[in-house]
Amino acid sequence: MAPGAESSEAVLILAPFGRDAVLIQQELAAAGFSTQVCSSIEDLGHAVRAGAGAAVVADEALPLSSVERLAKQLENQPPWSSFPLLVMTPGGAATSTSRYRLHLLEPLGNVTLLERPLRPETLASSVRAALRARRHQYQLRTLLSEVAANNVELMHTNEELSRANRELEEFAYVASHDLQEPLRMVNIYTHLILNATEDKDEKLTQYREFVRQGIVRMEALIHDLLTFSRTIQQEERPPAALTELSEALSEAKLVLRERIAEAGAVIRTSWLPSVHAECPQMSHVFQNLLANSLKYRHPERPVEIDISTEARQGFWVISVHDNGIGFEQQYAQRIFGLFKRLHKDEYPGTGLGLAICQRIIERHGGRIWAKGRMNEGATFLFSLPQAVT
């Protein structure tokens, strides 16, 4: 069957002796079938490749040499095709020749033996079933073609998306990096102006504070943008070295020591595992999660943070639970989006911290999620693959 051949309901007939071909053609035509008589195995093979529904072949057209030639004619069918052959054989006990013929026909895949004498109704029913099966094959070909076309389109779309992502990542990195220098200049000269106008006017004092806050927010935003850009540009696989998560947590607590002391926070930690990860990046995750707990602490109770570990189906699940103001569970996914913040006015921040945590954890083969209840605290959990020893 040629890959480009069109669907056809034609029934091919190969019966070389006497009037067999004519009689078979008449019976099939009377039953409403379109037929085509073939004069040889090669003629039959050509008609199959051109597009046909089934073939009725008299076994006297299939001496052993012809069976081998027929098998060769049909050996290059596409994966979706298994051309139906109906072979009319003599009745009675099987001979060694008929058994060998059947052995040669078996690899063709779709052979039905019709034993003579054959009633017209049986012939018509068998041909109808063969054509039905052939139609299903053509339907499969159409589906496979659509899948192949969709795969090509999807591949092109993925390539375009990957290119756009690379360009966006490069832009975010370059933009945030190049913004640092002009902001540094703004910061220096703004401080000079503020110092020169200090205590001269109440409104100027208020304006100075607005400028100072704006610079602080811009510096924090640029810093977080650079951090996020670095996480998305790094290689998409964790390093082979083992990292002690307890060491990463200690580094995070060291960075936050002044804020921890200021809040009077109590941080309780159970055993933490070793994982295949980068220690600075894991420290950054802990730093963001602890900073969240400190920032969103409840005004009426001391800060308490519990960090624990649980094994789940080949992963370590680390949870960071606090007793802060919490959040509604419906926002548990939203808070991981870029620049997504639930408390925009009450609390400072850029909305990038949790997005950075998510990118780091996913890059190391895990995931991060959150649970919360208003006024009852929040729990952030992240999973990492267990190290294979």
**pLDDT one-digit tens code per residue, 89-120:** 876 656 666 667 667 676 666 888 888 888 88
| Token pair recorded at residue 55 | 């073939």
- State the pLDDT at residue 232: 56
259-300 tens-digit pLDDT: 999 999 999 998 999 998 888 889 889 998 999 899 888 888
- State the pLDDT at residue 239: 53
135 Cβ neighbours under 8 A, 6+ residues apart:
7, 53
- CA neighbor of 13 nearest in space, from 62, 58, 60: 58
- Alpha-carbon distance values, 104 to 16, 78, 98, 114, 296 (Å): 20, 20, 10, 17, 79
In 3-state terms, what secondary structure has residue 200? coil
Torsion, CA 213, CA 216, CA 217, CA 222, rounded to 10: 160
- State the pLDDT at residue 171: 66
In 3-state terms, what secondary structure has residue 152? helix
121-146 tens-digit pLDDT: 999 999 999 999 888 888 888 898 88
345-364 tens-digit pLDDT: 555 555 677 888 888 898 88
Q: What is the mean pLDDT of residues 232-246?
A: 67
CA dist., res. 194 & res. 331, Å (int): 41
- CA neighbor of 238 nearest in space, from 264, 194, 275, 267: 275
- CA neighbor of 290 nearest in space, from 341, 254, 316, 331: 254
Contact status, residue 256 vs residue 291, Cβ threshold 8 Å = yes
- State the pLDDT at residue 127: 93
Alpha carbon 139 to chain centroid distance?
A: 27
For residue 3, name the pLDDT band (cuts at 50, 70, 90).
very low
- CA neighbor of 137 nearest in space, from 9, 42, 292: 9
- CA neighbor of 54 nearest in space, from 20, 78, 81, 31: 81
Cis peptide upstream of residue 117 (ω within 30 degrees of 0): yes
Q: What is the mean pLDDT of residues 163-172?
A: 68
- State the pLDDT at residue 4: 42
- State the pLDDT at residue 203: 73
Report the mean per-residue pLDDT for the chain.
81
Q: What is the mean pLDDT of residues 327-338?
A: 79
- Please give the share of the chain, as a percent, with pLDDT higher than 90: 26
For residue 238, name the pLDDT band (cuts at 50, 70, 90).
very low
35-81 tens-digit pLDDT: 999 988 888 888 888 888 999 988 777 777 777 788 777 777 788 88
- State the pLDDT at residue 131: 92
- State the pLDDT at residue 2: 46
The answer, yes or no, to whether residue 338 has pLDDT greater than 60, is no
CA dist., res. 260 & res. 266, Å (int): 8
Which CATH code fits 151-233? 1.10.287
Query: So where are the chain's domains?
Result: 11-150, 151-233, 242-385
Q: DSSP per residue over 167-185, as a string?
A: HHHHHHHHHHHHHHHHHHH
pLDDT, greater one: 256 or 204: 256
CATH entry, 11-150, from 3.40.50.2300, 3.90.1150.150, 3.30.1950.10, 3.90.1720.10: 3.40.50.2300
Contact status, residue 278 vs residue 384, Cβ threshold 8 Å = no
Superfamily of domain 242-385: Histidine kinase-like ATPase, C-terminal domain (3.30.565.10)
- State the pLDDT at residue 126: 92
Q: How much is the pTM?
A: 0.49
CA dist., res. 334 & res. 349, Å (int): 15
CA dist., res. 330 & res. 312, Å (int): 25
